[in-house]
Amino acid sequence: MALEPLYTSIIGIARAMFFAQGLDMRLTGEKNFPRTGGAVVVINHTGYMDFVYAGVPARVWKRFIRFMAKAEVFEHPVAGPIMRNLRHIPVDRTAGSDAYSTAVQKLREGELIGVFPEATISRSFEIKHFKSGAARMAKEAGVPVLPVTIWGSQRVWTKGLPKNMVRPKVPVLIDTAEPMEVTGDPAEFTEKLRGFMQGRLEELQARYAELEGPYPEGASWVPRRLGGSAPSLEEANALDEAEHQARIAKKRGSGDGGSGSGAGPSSGSADDAGSRN
């Protein structure tokens, strides 16, 4: 395994940040990460720091995760060179099949590819609809899917709530399930995977209450199902759709006609896999 000094340094900085923040990182199942070989790491999405937290259990075997991220990030003068050095995968929404093909090739070469199949942060803190691209990539590359479920990250930084980055001093639970082979139709597998991860999420939520005590009634970071004031899954989906339509209208108003993925499901679209945004 080749040395990657920049990625290793960034992980060290992240761990120092976790300590300074007083985060109580609790891992279960981390040894389910493969020591070698490729896998699609499928992660639920409740906060902006999930891509950092998801990499923590991979370090049990000194592995690195390559994330699929919007191409715009790679164009940033500071973030761009770092993203390229870390060998993450740019997703151009006008040519999503290119990123998909790159991801499949990296999986065949033994890399771990990180995917957020919900595509956006779940404002409800429940698991949203999954895009099927992660399952299709895994099946095409002949590698397993590795489900990673995170709970607690929304208390640090999430969509629509104030940042709490200085000293949140909260638990963040990260569960890694056993690798799953993609069999049968990828769309059907994806639905089963979503249900499986919702079940794991609910288990983590129950453990969280054991650690922290009962969830505070009406808290904005707590799902409606558990007595919080977060929007329901249906309400959250409606908010996401309104935001999406507003972005399209803004692009059209600025002279950019808006763009889709540029690749249908049959050709393999990275948009359908779920890139980090």
Residue 2, Cβ neighbours under 10 Å: how many?
4
Among 106, 111, 105, 134, residue whose Cα is nearest residue 43: 134
- At residue 276, does pLDDT exceed 60? no
As a whole number, mean pLDDT of residues 8-23 equals 96
The reported pTM is: 0.90
Helix axes 133-141, 96-108, angle to 10 degrees: 40
Run of H or E residues at 71: helix 71-74
Higher pLDDT, 113 or 97: 113
42 exposure class (CB count in 10 Å sphere: 0-12, 13-18, 19+): buried
- At residue 20, does pLDDT exceed 80? yes
Q: What does the alpha-carbon distance between residue 114 and residue 201 come to, in Å, rounded to a whole number?
A: 18
- At residue 261, does pLDDT exceed 60? no
Q: Please state, rounded to an integer, the average pLDDT across all residues of the chain.
A: 91
Q: What are phi and psi of 28, to 5 degrees?
A: -135, 140
The pLDDT of residue 93: 72
